[in-house]
A and B are shown apart, each in its own frame.
Chain A
Amino acid sequence: MANGVYEMMRGLWQTFRSAWTKPVTIQYPEVKRQVSKRYRGRHALKRYANGLEKCIGCSLCAAACPADAIFVEASEQTDENRYSPGERYASTYEINYLRCIFCGLCEDACPTEAIVLEDNYELSFETRESAIYTKDMLLDAVSAPNQPTPRKVKPGSFNRSVPEMKDPVD
């Protein structure tokens, strides 16, 4: 009998004590948990420091994609209308976020490091059509001032589509 009361009081003491501890709940929409450095969320298409797009429309990301989420269409470009270095640029770039599994193989496949998976995970849609992100939605804003794409450049200044490797062993 006394032992039973003791055990019950011990349990109640535990309950009482935990009432004063700090709650572990993260108040999600207001407070957001820091994602890990290696977290793979929504993609972004990057630009060089001079404002040109890194993506050259080679479709290697689409070939690497295990879920067939990426669609790339490349077009020819000239020095009058330059989007990216080299001969071609991505005129259409679409990612279907209801197919993408955020594996990061596109990031590995990209020869110019144009596509990067960033830390946005808030992707919910009311229709399937709205899950297809176009190039305008994915492309980063122009970092260099007054250097939008397409733009006119000096002929012959951006002939190499893939930048030279700083460290070929890497």
Chain B
Amino acid sequence: MGIEQKAANLGVVTTTLEQVVNWSRTNAMWPMLFGLACCAIEMMAAEGATYDMSRFGMELMRASPRQSDLMIVAGRVSRKMAPVLRNLYDQMPDPKWVIALGDCAACGGVFNNYAVMQGVDELVPVDVYISGCPPRPEALLHGVITLHEKVKKEKLTTWK
């Protein structure tokens, strides 16, 4: 299956608290139901049956930021949307992560103009940037795996 079987090989019983918590965080990371532009279409495809993000414990797209752990910024962020995005991020409970999906969310992409934020990292701290315009659903899954690897490396001292 997906990453859960590989994680099970760690031997949960004998592992440390750090590993248990990081493992549980990676296996139930609920994304927020939040799409901004064309990358959201690919995000929907990744949630669909063919790619099935529920293999990574992400089948629940929470419509409320208070119930979500992961914000996938799918698409370009216009300057008018920027305060909304920041507000949504502030409403998410810790621990929280952000994926910038696609070129526009990562650095503005082709939209080098006054109306679009040149990178969502001006607003929120981004953990993983995914390249592509828009990225394939597989690329999003690859980004999710990259994020899981990052979360697994988190130390007790840096937990929120």
Contacts and interface: CB of A to CB of B under 8 A. Distances in A.
Interface of A: 23-29, 32-33, 66-68, 96-103, 121-128, 131
Given A25-B55, A131-B131, A126 B1 contact: no
Interface in B110-157: 110, 112, 119, 121, 127-133, 135-136, 138-139, 141-143, 145-146, 150
Interface of B: 1-3, 49-52, 55, 103, 106-107, 109-110, 112, 119, 121, 127-133, 135-136, 138-139, 141-143, 145-146, 150
A124 B109 contact: no
Contact of B1 (A27, A32, A100): A27
Contacts of B2: 27-29
A124 B138 contact: no
A67 B109 contact: yes
Given A68-B112, A124-B142, A28 B132 contact: no
A124 B131 contact: yes
B103 A99 contact: yes
Given A25-B55, A27-B55, A98 B141 contact: no
A29 B52 contact: no
Contact of B128 (A100, A103, A124): A124
Nearest to A123: B131
A121 B136 contact: yes
A158 to B, nearest CB: 35
7 contacts: A98-B106, A99-B103, A99-B109, A123-B130, A123-B132, A125-B146, A126-B129
